[in-house]
Amino acid sequence: MSTREFYVSVELYLSSKTASTLRKPTVKKSNDKREVTKAVSGSNVVKEKSSWLGLGRQSSVAGQWRPVTCKLVDEEDACTLNIYIDETILYKSVYVYLLNHTDIRPIHRSLFDRADCIGIFCVTGQVSSTASSAEPVYLQFPDTDAMKVWVTLLRSFAMPEVYGRWLSPEDGGLYRMWRQIELTCLQGRNLGTSRLLPGDPANAESDSKLEADAIDIDVYCEIFVNGCLAGRTTVKKGVGSPDWQERFIIADLPLFENLEIVVWREKKMMKPTIVGSVVIVLGNFRRGEHVEGWFPVLSGGPTTRIQAGEIRLRLRIDEEIILPYASYSAMLETFNARNSLDWLSDFESKLNLKNVSNHIISISIAQNVLIENIMELADREVDGTLSSHNTLFRGNTVLTKTMESFMSWYGASFLEASIGPAVRRICGEKITIEVDPARGGKGMRGVEKSVDVLVYWCQEFWAGIYDARRQCPHELRRLFEHIRRLVEKRYRVADDKNRDLPWQSVSAFCFLRFMVPAILHPHLFGLWPGLPEAKVQRSLTLVAKVIQNLANLNATVQKEAFMRGVKDFLTGSLQAMVDYIVVVSTPEPGDNRSTSYALDGHERLRIMNALRQRGAAVPVLYREAIPLLPHLLDIPKHLAAVTSQVVRYTKVHSVGAAMASNTEDGCFDEFRSKCVAVEEQALHRVSQMATEARHQSSGQHDDRILTQRSVIVSTSSGHDQESKASLPSNKSQRWKPTRPSTASSMANNVDISDSLGVSGPQSPSAGPEGSTI
């Protein structure tokens, strides 16, 4: 096979220390000083708060972004990613064939306040560099599609976490693993107010000093997974009781060790200082369920532990055994016998299972049936509605909840184009609007000025929404068109009474469940980093109410004279709203895709062909671990997650006997039984792996073989060659070959102290082929 090369222009993050060792970016000479100034100011030097960009815990100096060119070289026996600064200076060479899949993953936006970034996490021997820095490689791609394409390309040459290769050579192994952390930092209390834990010697002087400092404190949190920085909250000002409500999903993780939330304090003209931290041992934390509670923030040394407040967290840990796709064929056959969204309804009603919707939607998207399934549910809901249409599409049904997920999935860039700039302006400028005299304490003149400000911002938001109407994705247009025509047919809109109903039915989804919630809660849609301040939140609420009135085609406002400006805005915008709804609910002829790609079309085609060739040359488990574009889907992973959740919740609710006597639940019972069969197969394969590990140990094999990296490189002849590169091992780490057990149930609002800094019993150890310990 001849050498292949792939190129992409991205931006590279450099810490201040690393950047100081490199040559400064060249600036073209010019006789005009203004041109030189413009070139320098236009560079990608990031000058933001240390709380956003200091990647080390003690770092207080921001780094910088530099434009670079990445060249991926695919040779017969290796694959290398070369990173060039100024197109000619080789900065780093990353040996991708020595990496694990979990070493290449998208990073949370909060690290740099930048979208479409990935991190490549290397250790000595996996990278060569001109700079003596061990920091991860952070790259920002021009758009989301380019980022996903390159993540897929890089992972196709890296190694998935596969176990038992020699026990099942036809599949490339027995199973693989997937892990994810979903963490929401809700709020804090008494942060900076210290108290000695029971049993520690009193230290009244230190105690009183910290209590005095807690009167005025600006705090933020950093999230570390296995010692690696994975996310940051925003800085909150207050007296030790911040309200964050910030959610982090950290996926595709290596073996779990610890989750640490470090609370930092900021002071003007001073370096940030640590208030304390929460350490959660993930090995003995229950899987697949949300746990919410107050966690103590601890500081001090090993002899004296001081509690410096508490933070409220909502946490979910997922860890799944993934079998080859063929193992799920019987289960999938039953699954496909019904509308996929009917399964969501059954899971919720029969098992009280509410956390699999994303996996069901992912499976449906991969099978290209989701839109048809949603249309079928819409048909049923319209046919089942009584003659009164006041509640049409207004309830919290499977249809409406699925539509919310669908719009978030396909409409993220559309939402950003519509309201992103206006949201960032109103939040960044901290605009305060209050039109209620009882709330604001203003006189009539002050209220009238506030109304004028409200009308101005409503116009700004509406202008952005209207201008972006033709960017509505094809998938959303198809569904909106189906809903509009469905209502037109059902309610005979020829008469004046129901004339607006088809348009209102579209706005019930596009605005009531998408645009307006994003205005109300921009941090939940990636439009603003963190919960807006209370006064700004009030301004957003007022704007959202007016925009929703406009979407309802309702120009009625309060009768007070000072609200006349809002009424004039609504009346003057009604026809434009109708035009907007018509555009977003009418697919454009020949438009069957929703995304314009930043990558060159020829280069993207070359990459897609390379992925197909790569997939055909590797074993089954390795091929199935390569994400599916354009959404980075992993179908066996989603099937494994559904299987384990159904089995777990079936045991909790003991529904088997009840369903067996109910013939109407025959299909659901069949699906549950097939999930149990798949689960038993997974546990059998884990048992095989554990037995093999014990045999190796009793046969006096060198234990280090379990901490070595087996590298499989596909050759032109189609055979697998294995080479091994010894990597640093962590003797304190234990492999857990058995399925992670679910810890005992706990009430939602409890003090979760048992999981803080306490190691649980370890399972017999057995390492995976092709993974780094």
Give the mean model confidence (pLDDT) for residues 70-83. 91
pLDDT digits (tens, 9 = 90+) for 83-113: 999 888 999 999 999 999 999 999 999 999 9
Strand ranges in 86-174 using DSSP code E only, listed in sequence order: 89-95, 104-106, 117-120, 127-129, 137-140, 162-163
Assess whether pLDDT exceeds 50 at residue 767: no
The more confident residue out of 556 and 26 is 556
| Confidence grade of residue 644 (pLDDT, cut at 50, 70, 90) | very high
| Residue in the block written with tokens 């236009």 | 42
In terms of Cα–Cα distance, which of 174, 102, 180, 171 is closest to 690? 174
CB 197 within 8 Å of CB 171:
no
Task: Tell me the HSE value of 153 on the side-chain side, using a 13 A CA sphere.
Answer: 28
Which segment of 404-413, 442-451, 717-726, 753-762 scores lowest on mean pLDDT?
A: 717-726
Give the mean model confidence (pLDDT) for residues 593-611. 78
The more confident residue out of 574 and 744 is 574
Assess whether pLDDT exceeds 70 at residue 623: yes
Note the pLDDT of residue 239. 67
Note the pLDDT of residue 711. 30
Note the pLDDT of residue 762. 34
Task: Tell me the HSE value of 212 on the side-chain side, using a 13 A CA sphere.
Answer: 6
| Confidence grade of residue 189 (pLDDT, cut at 50, 70, 90) | very high
Assess whether pLDDT exceeds 70 at residue 661: no
pLDDT digits (tens, 9 = 90+) for 225-281: 999 999 999 999 876 689 999 999 999 999 999 999 999 998 887 889 999 999 999
The domain made up of 178-197+214-322 has a fold known as Immunoglobulin-like (2.60.40)
Bridge-based pairing state of the strands 750-751 and 290-300 = parallel
Residues 6 or more apart whose CB falls under 8 angstroms from that of 256 comprise: 179, 226, 282, 283, 317, 319
% of the chain exceeding 90 in pLDDT = 58
Whole-angstrom distance, CA of residue 709 vs CA of residue 727: 7
Note the pLDDT of residue 633. 95
Note the pLDDT of residue 716. 30
Nearest-5° Cα angle at 258, 252 to 262: 105
Note the pLDDT of residue 21. 76
Tokens representing residue 687 in the block: 């048992």
The more confident residue out of 152 and 589 is 152
Q: Tell me the average pLDDT of the chain.
A: 81
Note the pLDDT of residue 710. 34
Give me the residue spans of the domains in the chain. Answer: 1-21+59-153, 178-197+214-322, 397-585
Note the pLDDT of residue 554. 87
The highest-level CATH class for domain 1-21+59-153 is mainly beta
| Angle, helix 444-467 to helix 564-584, in steps of 10 degrees | 10
The more confident residue out of 160 and 499 is 160
Give the mean model confidence (pLDDT) for residues 178-201. 84
Whole-angstrom distance, CA of residue 294 vs CA of residue 709: 40
Note the pLDDT of residue 496. 63
Backbone dihedral region for residue 13 (phi beyond 0: left; psi -120 to 50: alpha; all else: beta): beta
Task: Tell me the HSE value of 420 on the side-chain side, using a 13 A CA sphere.
Answer: 12
Give the mean model confidence (pLDDT) for residues 26-34. 47
Note the pLDDT of residue 747. 36
Q: What are phi and psi of 23, to 5 degrees?
A: -70, 140
Give the mean model confidence (pLDDT) for residues 619-643. 95
The more confident residue out of 392 and 503 is 503
The more confident residue out of 657 and 532 is 532
Note the pLDDT of residue 596. 55
Note the pLDDT of residue 755. 41
User: Which architecture, in CATH terms, is 397-585?
Assistant: Orthogonal Bundle (1.10)
% of the chain exceeding 70 in pLDDT = 76
Tokens representing residue 215 in the block: 């009167």
Q: pTM for this one?
A: 0.82
Give the mean model confidence (pLDDT) for residues 657-684. 80
pLDDT digits (tens, 9 = 90+) for 717-755: 333 333 333 333 333 333 333 333 333 333 333 343 444
Give the mean model confidence (pLDDT) for residues 655-679. 74
pLDDT digits (tens, 9 = 90+) for 690-715: 888 777 766 544 333 333 333 333 32
Which segment of 78-82, 196-200, 411-415, 601-605 scores lowest on mean pLDDT?
A: 196-200
Assess whether pLDDT exceeds 70 at residue 368: yes
Identical fold between 1-21+59-153 and 397-585: no
Cα torsion at 107, 110, 112, 116 (round to 10°)? 40
* Residue 319 host element (H or E): strand 305-322
pLDDT digits (tens, 9 = 90+) for 11-22: 999 988 888 777
pLDDT digits (tens, 9 = 90+) for 211-227: 444 446 799 999 999 99
Assess whether pLDDT exceeds 50 at residue 672: yes
Q: How far is CA 319 from CA 192, 283, 747, in A?
A: 34, 10, 22
Note the pLDDT of residue 462. 97
Assess whether pLDDT exceeds 90 at residue 656: no
